[in-house]
Structures are given as C-alpha cells and as structure tokens.
Copies of this chain bind each other. A is one copy, B any other.
C-alpha cells in the first residue's frame, strides 16, 4: 500500500463527507458482530488508513486524520502510518486525547461549519456508541449520525460478505449437543429475567450450534445472527452457505433459517415479552431495532462456552501433541539451519513452521498470523513480517516466535523466544526475568473463583522489581476449535471479575520488550484443573483449590537462561515440565527427533 493510495482514498472520503455535511467519520476495527478478527468485507479501517492491526480506530476530518491503537501495536502502527496523514494516538498513555477530545480540538482549529460526526451504526456496539454520543455532546456539543456508511460509495472493489461452506463439529469433539446448549442458554436467560436473546458474536453462534465456518481469517466462524426465544431459534445467514447436510442438521435441531439481511426485521417481529441484548456485543443499529423490552445485560453464552467439557479437553490434549510434534520438528530444523550460513528470514521460517503444522492430521488453519520477530522486531508486540520489513536471521540474538493453529479438535497458541546463537548478558537477564514470571504463575495454587486480576502480579513481580513491565494482558482464554482469544476471563492488571473455575483454558504469556533492541515472551496455553489436595491441612469451610496445567507441549529454550537467577523450585518446575514434554512427544517422533528433544529437555 503506497501513501499515495491512502491520500487518494482520503480525498474521496472527504468529498462524500462534504456532500453529507459531516465533520468527520470514525472507522472501527470491528464488524457487525463485534469480532476481534473480521472478514475482509469489514476491513474499512485498514482500507482507509493502511494500518492492518487487529485493534485500532481511524478518525478522519476534512483536514486531518488520526488512528488510535493500543501498546501491542504502537511500533507496527508507527511503521505502517509513516508518510500518511494519519497521526498515531497511543491508548492508555498519558496525554493521549480521546477521540471526542481530539475531534473537538480539530474542528475548533478548522473552524468547521459542520458539527455532526458519522459512524456506521451496524459496526459499532450499542455501548460504545452511547458512550461516544455522551462524550461528543460534552466536547463542544458535537452530534453523531449513525445510519450512513461512506464506504459503500467509495470502496469500489470492497469484498462481499464471505460465503465459505459450513461444517458440523462432530459430537465426539463438541462433547455436548446443540439441544443441550440451547437448553442451558435458555435456563441462564430465565435467571437473567429474559425470555430470548439475539446472539451477534460469531464464536458464540458457532459454539451454540456446533457448527464451524471459514468466513474469517484464522477463526473457524461464519457470518450470521442467531435469534433465540423460549421456543424458537432462527439463524440469519446467507443460505448459499448451507449444504443439504447442514440444512438437515439445523432442521433436526429446530433451528429456522432466514436471510442474513432480515435480522433487523426479525428483531422488530420478535413476539415474546422481552429480549436480552448485550450492549457490548450488539450493534447500535440492532439495539435500536428491538421493539420489545430490552434486558441490557451480559450475554450468558461466554460463561458457558469457556468451561470446557471432557471431550473438548481430550481434544486439546490431542491437538497439543500434534502441535508439539510440529514445533519440535521446526525447532530442530531451525537449530541445524542456524549452524551454517543461511538465507532464512522471518517470513521464510514462518512458512516452514506453517508447512510442518499443515502436515498434521486435523489441521485446518493457523489460529492467528504468526509473529516471528528477530531481535529488534521482537520488541514489536504484534509484529507481522511483511516483504518490506522482513529481515534475515543471523546466528546470534533472540527470535520471538508466537504462533498457533486451528485443529478440528483444538486451538493452540504458543510463544517461544529462541536463541539463534550467542546472546548478550542483558538478553539472558531479561529472558530469565520473563521465565521466572512464567513459572511463578504456572506454579500458582488458588481457591476456586479467584479472578485473573488477583493472580496477574505473580507473572510481573520479578520484572517490576527492576522497573520493567509489559502493557498487554498476561493471559486469555483459548477456544475449542474457535477463537484464539476467548473471554471474559483473563490474567490482566485491569479488573476482570470473571471467576476462574476448573475446565477453563488460559494462556500464560509474560513478556519484556526493549524498543529497538529485542523482545522476550514465553507462552503456554494452560488448563485450569483441581489442585491435588493430599498435602492440605484440614480447615473449616475449605473451598476447592485450583492450579494450572500446561496444555502446550514444547521445550522452553534453556540456552538463554541465567541459571543463577532461578530458585530450586523454579528449576524443578522447568525440569518437570520438560520431562512431561519428552514423555508425551517422544513416542510420536523418529529417533533423530527424539535425540534432539532429549537434549532440549535435559534437566538443568
């Protein structure tokens, strides 16, 4: 994308804005379903700004343009916006104005004749829209227009909403029938005093119906809405996507089918007394369309979906074995490759790793775009190498490699930071600080219903002592052949009230990023399991205790460790984890691979 193209698009947009008497337009990163990753049809923010991160909001006035994103993307956005009109706005950094504050300042400077700001109300959640309306009103009395999308006029080659086929997730992998899930959702709705709900979140729809699609890059969902009442369920979807088999399955489960475009009418026609609409999940336009009494509460589905059943847990274990085999083959290959002069680059090793994963049974896709960042690129938290940024690997320093796959029986997410040769004393020190945090959280034992906010410090305590921190969360849920980011539970500095219970997945991924130099992150996907109770003292009213069990099976590079910084307990955890990795993976490896893994997992 050249800066010239961005300039042309901005000019086209401004013509429309002037015609529509709009002072500005706001482009979010999301779609009509509040997805984190979206189909190309909804990549309007990327089209107008050139910035392709998964989180960011572009705002364009008649004379200026800016893009807000979070710390994961500061360096990537700086790179991608360079030379365009877009000014980078760093979220959560002191002094960064809010969108409304910036708009008010800009329109005052520009002495704008217009005071109305536009958004596409289908792609903004009701909660975000209402907050924006209130803030714009405070900021110089600006108003919001929500029923207009300039992209329809100016984005001529806009991709259409995808039509990829849908498949049924087999019951031996899903572990619970669609009928049972619908019953549990309806029970939860009754408890929230609602008789129905509109499900907009694509992964919640896929989970509920035990269906998977291919509409969104790296996420096996399909574009649809699901409207539930006490007695009926209607799937709003382009019918072309439904094979006879899937149509029959839906019929069998008493799921009616209607056209995707009819969801608004479906909401207007909803016949029961009240309907739950989650203001964070439901678009502003659809929230306004509901004519019954609206119960504005959190959707009950995520809390059901994130507690995995036995079949799903079995699936994760199977998928992790295959993912571990691919990772071990990759790491062995990389080690050999780096021993002699090589032309391998960040992008080429990504291709290699992906091809090794693709060889595995039940492989369907990556679960997100691989982050392969060598040295300074490793400090860009969500770096994705492009032909412009790609650099060759050299036989020294650190490679940060964050990757994952979608297997039909489980989603994986793993980060390893790998020494490609000698590393500096500082790299050793930083690597070991991150490892200590990773181990401390991995070793935690905690009462049931503890929150991720309470535990987050365990991963940060050692680096905080040296004035270092990372501004992303420490962990997120991982779907069962679904979204690689699944909430609402998280390990995070911010308050996340969702209590942790056995059966949830969650990543453990502390990191340290020294801008312009290198980055370290070490991540396993974990399962929350009951802690052994053998060693416990008897006390009254004792709750159940939980611990984290690594699902990920792959050695953690021992070469960059400063062993003098580890306690005996930390060594023991690492050695015991490595023993498990060897025991589980070795039977699936050939003799050479076994030998490599034996070395990689020898006790320290």
Contact B567 A466 (CB under 8 A): no
A438-460 at interface with B (beta carbon < 8 Å): 443-447, 450-451, 453-458
Point out the residue from B446, B457, B467, B515 that lies within 8 Å of A464, measured CB to CB.
B446
| Residue A151, interface by CB 8 Å | no
**Shortest beta-carbon distance, A378 to chain B, in Å?**
15
Q: How far is the CA of A446 from the CA of B463 in the complex (A)?
A: 9
Q: How far is the CA of A203 from the CA of B94 in the complex (A)?
A: 34
| Residue A55, interface by CB 8 Å | no
Contact A453 B453 (CB under 8 A): yes
A541: which B residues are within 8 A, CB to CB? 93-94
Point out the residue from B461, B533, B567 that lies within 8 Å of A567, measured CB to CB.
B567
- Contact flag A467-B536 (CB < 8 Å), given A93-B541, A454-B453: yes
A188: which B residues are within 8 A, CB to CB? none
| Residue A497, interface by CB 8 Å | yes
**Shortest beta-carbon distance, A148 to chain B, in Å?**
33
Contact B497 A495 (CB under 8 A): yes
| Residue A295, interface by CB 8 Å | no
A457: which B residues are within 8 A, CB to CB? 444, 446, 450, 454-455, 457-458
**Shortest beta-carbon distance, A170 to chain B, in Å?**
38
**Shortest beta-carbon distance, A433 to chain B, in Å?**
10
Contact A493 B454 (CB under 8 A): yes
**Shortest beta-carbon distance, A291 to chain B, in Å?**
28
Contact with B along A483-527 (1 / 0, CB 8 A): 000000000010101000000000000000011000000000000
Contact A514 B495 (CB under 8 A): no
- Contact flag A531-B456 (CB < 8 Å), given A93-B541, A497-B495: no
| Residue A19, interface by CB 8 Å | no
| Residue A152, interface by CB 8 Å | no
A542: which B residues are within 8 A, CB to CB? 467
**Shortest beta-carbon distance, A580 to chain B, in Å?**
20
Q: How far is the CA of A461 from the CA of B446 in the complex (A)?
A: 8
**Shortest beta-carbon distance, A290 to chain B, in Å?**
25
Q: How far is the CA of A455 from the CA of B455 in the complex (A)?
A: 8
**Shortest beta-carbon distance, A392 to chain B, in Å?**
27
Contact with B along A534-557 (1 / 0, CB 8 A): 011101111101000000000000
- Contact flag A536-B466 (CB < 8 Å), given A93-B541, A454-B457, A457-B457: yes
Contact B515 A540 (CB under 8 A): yes
Contact with B along A380-424 (1 / 0, CB 8 A): 000000000000000000000000000000000000000000000
| Residue A469, interface by CB 8 Å | yes
Contact A467 B515 (CB under 8 A): no
Contact B537 A467 (CB under 8 A): yes
Q: How far is the CA of A465 from the CA of B545 in the complex (A)?
A: 9
Contact with B along A79-104 (1 / 0, CB 8 A): 00000000000000110000000000
Contact B497 A466 (CB under 8 A): no
A497: which B residues are within 8 A, CB to CB? 495
Contact A447 B469 (CB under 8 A): yes
Q: How far is the CA of A453 from the CA of B451 in the complex (A)?
A: 10
Contact A467 B93 (CB under 8 A): no
Point out the residue from B94, B444, B453, B464 that lies within 8 Å of A445, measured CB to CB.
B464
Contact B514 A467 (CB under 8 A): no
| Residue A257, interface by CB 8 Å | no
Contact B447 A464 (CB under 8 A): yes
Contact with B along A269-294 (1 / 0, CB 8 A): 00000000000000000000000000
Q: How far is the CA of A455 from the CA of B456 in the complex (A)?
A: 9
Q: Select from chain B the residue with minimum beta-carbon distance to A536.
A: B467
| Residue A468, interface by CB 8 Å | yes
Which among A453, A464, A536 has the highest number of chain B CB atoms within 10 Å? Answer: A464
A453: which B residues are within 8 A, CB to CB? 453-454, 495
A537: which B residues are within 8 A, CB to CB? 466-468, 514
**Shortest beta-carbon distance, A296 to chain B, in Å?**
18
Which among A461, A468, A497 has the highest number of chain B CB atoms within 10 Å? Answer: A461
**Shortest beta-carbon distance, A538 to chain B, in Å?**
9
A493: which B residues are within 8 A, CB to CB? 450, 454
Q: How far is the CA of A533 from the CA of B537 in the complex (A)?
A: 41
Q: How far is the CA of A453 from the CA of B454 in the complex (A)?
A: 6
A458: which B residues are within 8 A, CB to CB? 457, 461
Extra pairs beyond A458-B461, A466-B537 (17, CB < 8 Å): A93-B541, A94-B541, A443-B465, A445-B465, A451-B495, A453-B453, A453-B454, A455-B457, A466-B536, A467-B533, A467-B536, A467-B539, A467-B542, A467-B545, A495-B495, A514-B539, A515-B539
The 6 closest A-B CB pairs, nearest first, are A467-B536, A445-B465, A445-B464, A454-B457, A467-B545, A446-B464
In the complex, 22 of the A-B residue pairs with CB atoms within 8 angstroms, ordered by the A residue number, are A443-B465, A444-B464, A445-B465, A445-B467, A446-B457, A447-B464, A453-B453, A453-B495, A454-B454, A454-B456, A454-B457, A455-B457, A457-B457, A457-B458, A466-B537, A467-B531, A467-B536, A467-B539, A467-B545, A469-B543, A514-B539, A515-B539
- Name A's B-contacting residues (CB within 8 A): 93-94, 443-447, 450-451, 453-458, 461, 464-469, 493, 495, 497, 514-515, 531, 533, 535-537, 539-543, 545, 567
